Amino acid sequence: MLLMIEALGGYIAVDPLPRVEHVSRAYVREAPPCRDWLAGLLARAGWTGADNKTAWSIVMRESNGRPEVGTGGLFQLKASVWAGTDIWPADISNPDQNAAAAFKLWQRSGWRPWGITQSGNGIDARDYSGWDAATQWAWIWQPFATWRAHYPCEVGP
């Protein structure tokens, strides 16, 4: 569509939407760096973006971010299931080794071992079939969702 504009005693045709011959890379605002130690540790293990948020929420649900809690470290990996496999780290209480082991497990099984769907938006309780729905909600989803709402970093695009 052309507009006719009066100029210099005559009319000129002007395209109100100029054509762009060259489009440069669109500006995308990246999330600022997160200063949370746990989110940083999880990023070093391999999780980024929304997956980092899900991993962080699982760790907070499982161990409150304290590697010395229980016998399975940050992710509460169960020795009865994983010891003796290539998942099990040399030192389960070492946060970096625990996160690396959990990342390897996640690459194979998604979030299912922790009862969360791959999108991080629901319960995947197939491995918790012995629990009734109320218990699954109280022990899997509710604490996870609460921590997810308190994730300390901004998730980028």
Query: Is 101 contained in some domain?
Result: yes
Query: Is 11 contained in some domain?
Result: no
Nearest-angstrom CA–CA distance, 80 and 136:
21
Nearest-angstrom CA–CA distance, 59 and 74:
6
* pLDDT digits 0-9 by tens, 23-57: 445 555 566 678 999 999 999 999 999 999 999 99
Confidence class of residue 19 from pLDDT cuts 50, 70 and 90? low
User: What's the structural domain count of the chain?
Assistant: 1
Burial of 112 (0-12, 13-18, 19+ CB in 10 A): middle
* pLDDT digits 0-9 by tens, 46-97: 999 999 999 999 999 999 999 998 899 999 999 999 999 999 999 999 999 9
CB of 69 within 8 A of CB of 63? yes
Q: Which of 23, 20, 94, 105 is nearest to 58 (CA)?
A: 105
What is the model's pLDDT at position 28?
Answer: 54
Query: Is 54 contained in some domain?
Result: yes
Query: Is 5 contained in some domain?
Result: no
DSSP string, 7-63: ETTEEEEE-SSPPPS--PPPP-PPPPPP--HHHHHHHHHT--HHHHHHHHHHHHHHH
pTM of the model: 0.78
**Containing structural domain, residue 67:** 37-149
Query: Is 18 contained in some domain?
Result: no
Query: Is 7 contained in some domain?
Result: no
Judge whether residue 13 has pLDDT over 70: no
Query: Is 41 contained in some domain?
Result: yes
Query: Is 57 contained in some domain?
Result: yes
